[in-house]
Structure 1
Amino acid sequence: MSNTYGKLFRITTFGESHGAAVGVIIDGCPAGLEVNLEEIQHALDRRRPGQSAITTPRKEEDKVTVLSGIFEGRTQGTPISMVVNNKDQHSHDYSHIQHAFRPSHADYTYTAKYGTRDYRGGGRSSARETVARVAAGALAAKLLEKHGISVKSYVSQVGKIKLQKPYTELDLNQIDSNIVRCPDGATASRMIGLIEEARDSLDTIGGVVSCVVQGVPAGLGEPVFDKLHAELGKAMLSINAVKGFEYGSGFEGVKMRGSEHNDQFYTDEQGNIRTRTNYSGGIQGGISNGQDIYFNVAFKPVATILQPQQTIDDTGEDITLKGKGRHDPCVLPRAVPIVDAMAALVLADFLMRQQANKV
């Protein structure tokens, strides 16, 4: 099982949904980076369950404990270990699925691969694992901040309700102004209503999280197999419930001619090389070109629904299964900090690789 991500800024996560704890070991973080634990905790608070009426009511404080690698508020260049204890597990909520394969979950595939599985909340396949990613991502974001790079994600679509404004017309400081994390109040209200409607009908709904990365210097990314957009895609597709990734013009770009789609270069008044448009999404040839990087991440509806469904058990017998326990009607509000974290981890790793790439 692959539990490690990154080449130079490298993380390894551990833990299960209903185990004692989840955590992360970060190796390769430079020494001397100022770390404010409150900022790491804030990132975890944005991801934690029970934060609003449209998220799971599971009550986890998700308090982070640093075990190593940080002393007197600074990284030491040694492995950093952070852990978050699980305190509100209701493992009995999952006893009815001990032998069942839940539709669109990893129950069957984990069993097919390993011959065993932790059925309590999905074990390692649970999105609870992303606690570790968010903690590590907060540290990566601090490294990026030192270099003037910011990462901001927001909910741009829930079901068929889509934010019509491009990110350039939004106030991204308003992302946390509402519980759905859409930086447009009117659209957010409609999104919240749709999520509540799905919840009240014992169903779930999906949508899109958009991400904007600003301040990225030209030159991040590697040729051929480690292209920047390829790594961003890999990172996003590794998040639970993600079904799609597109950057720049994405699929809409196929409707355009080359004469429309090409991003023409010019030199601005400060002598910086810029492009007049940004259909490339800040990446050309797999390498950042200094423009904003922007991309969309599609999340499916949460697979656990509180309605009867037909499936089979581990003997192949047909059964009727109804979800129990505490689950999100829509994963999007809590997915925003996860997208932030994975984008920050990708960029921090490429930033360090670029610094090691030149004499």
Structure 2
Amino acid sequence: MSQTVKGVIARSKQQPVEVTDIVIPDPGPGEAVVKIQACGVCHTDLHYREGGINDEFPFLLGHEAAGVVESVGEGVTDVAPGDYVVLNWRAVCGQCRACKKGRPWYCFDTHNATQPMTLTDGTPLSPALGIGAFCEKTLVAAGQCTRVDERAEPAVAGLLGCGVMAGIGSAINTGDVQRGDSVAVIGLGGVGMAALMGAQLAGATTLIGVDIDDRKLARAKSFGATHTVDSSVADPVEAIRELTDGNGADVVIDAVGRPETFLQAFKARDLAGTAVLVGVPTPEMTVELPLLDVFGHGGATKSSWYGDCLPERDFPMLIDLHLQGRLDLGAFVTERITLDQVEDAFATMNGGDVLRSVVTF
């Protein structure tokens, strides 16, 4: 029998979000209903509201979430009612050519729930990243549920569902940071700070944070930065080279996703170093590079989707490190809010004053 719960929707482009009644169907085959305990407010949710993802309004927002499985549909064996889970938006299929090659983090056929969640008048909702977790309960594909240690606080654990995992993974998975490496991160929002934390976890010894905001540069020290560069007053490429004996960094991570920052990352890497794009560009953005520079640098230029993570491998491992005191995921939680404060959280986000506002239930 379906349930009616409260959730936050974006009804139309660039309009304030609203709290309204959401109808959640019983889980069908391969699906699960999850009672949400906490959900982070991510820039991606704002992009949905602004029409920057697509125009499939109305959207049920929210995707960085942790909660408890309430019920499961036919054929679900990996999770059961009562399991404490972090939700993910890359439920791998196990059958596509990437999965069969042993690289499931590149899965070409990730899946979501097949049944729609709706408004009370029957209007189907588009859940953000196939999750829709600014809601008391949500319907997802069971593969989107990753069990983790229940001792981890939901407000902290849920952040692995998107931005924090993207940042950490861009360093340890995509960038393959090694012990003793030098790493520069351009853009010190939540993803960039997580990239610094991931690089430190991997054993990097020189960690350079680059931004134009003094507050973010100061905060970066607590996330592992050994040096900071204010790129509003200094050439970041030259500054990174100066801090790495004139060579450039072994790994440079662009956590902004603009043509100028990508070019900075490419030019600031060492010969045979790695440039990683984890910031998300918009469709109209283009980059022009002399092909000889690409050839002459060697190394690698990579994009990082979701930190190239495999949720069932990475989420439990990072939660365990957090519980051991080796990974301070709690540092990302700036404030805790209620569902009716999501619109205010978007405004706060744009001001650069928070890493993450987290809706708690």
Both proteins in one fold, TM over 0.5: no
Query: Which structure has the higher relative contact order (CA within 8 Å, separation 6+)?
Result: 1
TM-score by length of 1: 0.25
TM-score by length of 2: 0.25
